[in-house]
Chains A and B, each alone.
Chain A
Amino acid sequence: LAKTTQPISMDSYEGQEVNITCSHNNIATNDYITWYQQFPSQGPRFIIQGYKTKVTNEVASLFIPADRKSSTLSLPRVSLSDTAVYYCLVGDPSSASKIIFGSGTRLSIRP
């Protein structure tokens, strides 16, 4: 099972771009990379998923280098409401049993 490593916490300011990097050195061929966001007293919410290169949606971008041993979640122009815990997951989509959440990155946005 691919284990992920993320920073425990990050701070930034409103209007800045925030990049959170996740390390997953033993990612397998069939593994996808998925990011979730969690606010206090709520369940996690899916943000973005990718396999390689770059994926972008209305919320974030996900950058994955060619070796796929790391990935970077990019949040453009953050606001106070982006303060949350962000989880990086790596796993084979066809194997539900292999979804593993790490401890996540606590992102704090300041005015």
Chain B
Amino acid sequence: DVKVTQSSRYLVKRTGEKVFLECVQDMDHENMFWYRQDPGLGLRLIYFSYDVKMKEKGDIPEGYSVSREKKERFSLILESASTNQTSMYLCATLGGGRAFSYEQYFGPGTRLTVT
């Protein structure tokens, strides 16, 4: 089974802090995603990466950056956390190339609170 792990289930940070959210997958998937989920808004794509060091902006990239130095790890960075970034953050993977699947695998999520 695909396993997607996120570094923390719950995180509390102060406004202005730099925040790192880590995601690790064990299935050698090319594609990795970061979403945020807020009540009534569904899942919104922040960034995704289709290969090491490759990334594309999603629908709401403002205030975020990402890093993918290794295939199995995709990090979301909040350069200066703000209260409007309080949310549930979900990481997902998707197989590509010959292993293509349209089935995304999600991590358990990180509930971030910025005070």
Contacts and interface: CB of A to CB of B under 8 A. Distances in A.
B42 A34 contact: no
Nearest to B43: A101
B83 interface: no
Report, as a range, how many residues of chain A touch the other chain: 20 to 34
Contacts of A32: 102
A97 B56 contact: yes
A41 B6 CA distance: 13
Given A46-B103, A96-B50, A99-B33, 15 more contacts: A34-B102, A36-B104, A41-B111, A42-B108, A43-B90, A43-B109, A46-B104, A49-B102, A87-B43, A93-B100, A97-B56, A97-B58, A100-B45, A101-B35, A101-B44
Contact of A43 (B42, B58, B106): B106
Closest 7 CB pairs of A and B: A43-B106, A101-B43, A93-B102, A103-B42, A46-B103, A96-B31, A101-B42
B24 interface: no
A102 interface: yes
B109 A87 contact: no
Q: Interface residues of B toward A: which range?
A: 20 to 34
Contact of A94 (B43, B100, B104, B109): B100
A100 B103 CA distance: 13
A99 B104 contact: yes
Nearest to A42: B108
Interface string B83-115: 000000010101010001111111111010000
A102 B35 CA distance: 12
B106 A104 contact: no
A109 to B, nearest CB: 21
A45 interface: yes
